[in-house]
Amino acid sequence: MGAPYRGRFAPSPTGPLHAGSLVAALASWLDARRHGGVWGVRIEDVDTPRCVPGADRLILEQLARCGLVSDAPPVWQSARSALYRSALDRLVAQGRAYPCACSRKDIEQALAAQGRPRVRGQEAPYPGTCRDGLHGRPARAWRLRVPDGVVHWQDRRLGPRQQDVSHEVGDFVLLRADGLWAYQLAVVVDDADQGITHVVRGEDLADNTARQLLLQRALGVATPSYLHAPLVLGANGEKLSKQNGAQPLDLAEPLRALNEAAAVLGLPPQTGAVAAALAAWVARWPFLQSRGD
C-alpha cells in the first residue's frame, strides 16, 4: 500500500494570482480532495529578486476567497535553506555535483565552438566545460552531474513522456552564481521533506519533470505521481503569465473565477455557494488513472 496522498500548490510570490495560476491551484486541490488526501500551500520564494513584498499573503487571501485553504500551515522556501545546503553537500560527497566557473557567455561560446549555437527562446544546454575541473578559475555555481540516457515517466494527463536530459539540458544548476538556490533542487528537496506523493501543476512545468526525477534518484528520495494540467492561453496563443501581462484575479465574485478555471479543466459550471461548487467538481474530477493505464 502506498503512502497516504499528500499534494501541494506551490506559487511564486511574484504578484497576485491570475486566471492561469487559479487553474493549477484548483486542479491540485480537487485532485487531493478526490483522493481523500491532504493539500498544502508552499510559497516558492527562493528567487528573491523576483518576489514582490506582500504577494505571498495576498495569494493566500485569494485562495481562501475561493475556498482553497491549506490543510496545514503554509511553508516558505526562504526559511528552508539549511535543507537545500544539506542536500547539495550529500550530492557533492557522492561525486554527483561539481563546481562550475562558466558565465552565460562562456556557455554560448563553448556551444558555438561545438557547432551547437543557442536557439533563440530555448535554454542553452550546458556543454560540460567544468565537468573535469575548474582549471584555475573561481567557482560560480554548482551543477548536477547528469548521467547519459533517456528519462521516462508517466503523466496522468499527458501520458508517457521522455527526455534526454544529458543532451537537451546537460548538467543543470543546483546553486546559482548569485548564491540563490536553483528551482530544481529546492522543489525536489521540499517535495521529499513534505512527503508529497502527487504533484499537480501547469503543463508549462512538464519539462522540469525529467530533471527532478534525476535529482530524486541522486538523493535517494521517492518520486511523486505527476499530473500537468492544461494552460490558460492569451489572445496571442501563448501561456497566460505575469510576464506577458496577465491581470490579477477579480474575486468580487469568486464563483465566476472558479467557473472559468473549472472550464479549462473540462468541468461544468456551477451556481450557488463556492463550497457546493467545489464539492460538485470533486465528484466529477476526471483524472483518477494514469493515461495509458
Q: Which residues are tagged catalytic?
A: 242
Name the amino acid, one letter, at 135.
H
Give the three cell numbers for residue 213: 526525477
Mention every residue, 6+ apart, whose C-beta is less than 8 A from residue 20: 202, 231, 232, 239, 240, 241, 246
Q: What sign has the CA pseudo-torsion 206, 211, 214, 215?
A: negative
Measured distance CA(138)–CA(266) in Å, rounded: 52
Largest CA distance in the chain: 67
Give the three cell numbers for residue 236: 496571442
Q: Is 135 helix (H, G, I), strand (E, B) or coil?
A: coil
Side-chain-side CA neighbours of residue 227 (13 Å): 27
Of 225, 261, 181, nearest to 20 (Cα)? Answer: 261
